[in-house]
A and B are shown apart, each in its own frame.
Chain A
């Protein structure tokens, strides 16, 4: 069966510090991978998605970047965090873009202070 791992679960970082959130998927090959940010109790804002190694699509201009160094690994990064980067970050995977069912990780709660 397929599983998705996302870590860390909680992160507190000072303004201006770098960020690296990692997501890995097991049990499937060539998944589509996604990073979302969610405001408290609200919908999901798509940040990045990837249909293959090294292929990254950015949906919203951000202080963030994403990379996919391996087929089942997706990394969300920032060189210098802003206060506005605080939020709940979710990684997800699907079998195809547009039609796929998305399976989500447990999320990372990021607080930038």
Chain B
């Protein structure tokens, strides 16, 4: 059973466009994390959201945690080729290891 559904699976856009990636679940998480991974490397943590309704901004990236702590979104404004990569969300539940979504592969072309 896939507890965290990420959409879309693939996204190919032009430089300067905006995009949103979604991470949805029927389960409640104590926190949710977003990672970015480049080919041949390990994922790198971007942000952790903890409070329902929380919004965090990291330069052109905006992360939001749903009010019920079941879903999250990542919005990128004016995407750049350097944003290309695999974006993974991961939910934390007490007593278990992080639960990862299957990822969204983003390709930004100039």
Contact = CB atoms under 8 A, between A and B. Distances in A.
Interface residues of B, number: 26
B75 interface: no
B88 to A, nearest CB: 6
Contacts of B101: 43
A41 B43 CA distance: 12
Contact of A90 (B30, B42, B90, B96): B42
Contact of B97 (A6, A42, A49, A107): A49
A86 to B, nearest CB: 15
A44 interface: yes
B97 A34 contact: yes
Contact of B42 (A49, A98, A106): A106
Contact of A98 (B43, B88, B97): B97
B42 A101 contact: no
Top 7 closest pairs, chain A to chain B, by CB: A104-B42, A43-B102, A44-B100, A43-B103, A49-B97, A43-B100, A99-B92
Interface of B: 6, 30-31, 33, 40-45, 48, 86, 88, 90, 92-98, 100-103, 105
